[in-house]
A and B are shown apart, each in its own frame.
Chain A
Amino acid sequence: MPHPWLKERPLTPCLRGGFSTVNQTGSWRVIRPVLDISKCRDCSMCWLYCPEGVIDRENNYSIDYDYCKGCGVCAVECPVDAIEMVKEE
Chain B
Amino acid sequence: MSLKIRDLPNEELVAPGNSGCPGCGATMGARMAMKVLGSRTIMVNGTGCMTVNYGVLAAARFPYLHMLFETTGAVLSGLDAGLRSLGKREGVTLLGWAGDGGTADIGFQSLSGAVERGHKFVYICYDNESYMNTGGQRSGVTPYGASTTTCPAGKRSIGESRPMQRRKDMVEIMAAHGIPYAATASLAFPMDYMAKVKRAAEVDGPSYVHLLSPCPPGWGSNDELTVEVSRLAVETGMWILYEVVDGERKFNKRLKTLRPITDYLKTQKRFRHLLDQPEEIEKIQSFVTKRAERLGLLG
What residues of A have a CB within 8 angstroms of the CB of B18 in the complex? 20, 23, 25, 52
Number of interface residues of A (CB under 8 A): 36
Point out the residues of chain A lying under 8 angstroms from B14, CB to CB: 53
Known: A20-B15, A77-B227. A51 touches B28 (CB 8 A): yes
**What are the interface flags for B62-87 relative to A under an 8 Å C-beta threshold, 1 for contact and 0 otherwise?**
10100000000000000000000000
A-B contact pairs, 8 of them (CB 8 A): A20-B17, A21-B17, A43-B5, A50-B28, A53-B12, A54-B16, A67-B16, A76-B228
Determine which residue in B15, B16, B226 has the highest number of CB atoms from chain A within 10 A of its CB, and name it.
Answer: B16
Q: Which of A20, A22, A77 has the most CB of B within 10 A?
A: A20
Is there a chain B Cβ closer than 8 Å to A62's Cβ?
A: no
Are A52 and B27 touching (Cβ within 8 A)? yes
Please measure, in the bound complex, the distance between the C-alpha atom of A73 and the C-alpha atom of B127, giving whole angstroms. 19
Q: How far is the CB of A88 from chain B (nearest CB, A)?
A: 13
Stretch of B52-60, B133-141, B166-174, B283-291 contacting A (4+ beta carbons < 8 Å):
B52-60
What string of 1s and 0s marks CB contacts (under 8 Å) between A43-64 and chain B? Answer: 1110011111110011000001
Given A15-B58, A22-B17, A22-B57, are A73 and B27 also a contact pair (CB < 8 Å)? no
Q: Once the chains are docked, how many angstroms separate the CA of A51 from the CA of B19?
A: 11
- Bound state CA distance, A25 and B59, in angstroms? 13
Question: Could you tell me the distance in whole angstroms from the C-beta of B62 to the nearest C-beta in chain A?
Answer: 7
**What residues on A are CB-neighbors of B222 within 8 Å?**
72
CB of A73 within 8 A of CB of B23, answer yes
Q: Assess whether A23 is in contact with B224, with CB atoms less than 8 Å apart.
A: no
Residues in B with CB closer than 8 Å to A73 are: 23, 28, 223-224, 226-227
Bound complex: CA A41 to CA B187 (Å): 21
Chain B interface, number of residues (Cβ within 8 angstroms): 38
| Cβ of A24 to closest chain B Cβ, rounded Å | 7
Residue of B nearest to A74 (CB): B224
A2 at interface (Cβ–Cβ under 8 A)? Answer: no
Determine the chain A residues whose CB is within 8 A of the CB of B54 once the complex forms: 20
**Nearest CB in chain A to that of B14: its residue:** A53
| 5 closest Cβ pairs, A-B complex | A72-B224, A20-B17, A67-B16, A15-B58, A71-B22
- The answer to whether A64 touches B62, judged by C-beta atoms less than 8 angstroms apart, is no
Does B275 sit within 8 A of A, measured CB to CB?
no
Nearest-Cβ distance from residue A85 to partner chain B, whole angstroms: 7
Inter-chain contact B59/A48, CB cutoff 8 Å? no
- Confirm or deny: B176 has a beta carbon within 8 angstroms of a beta carbon on chain A: no
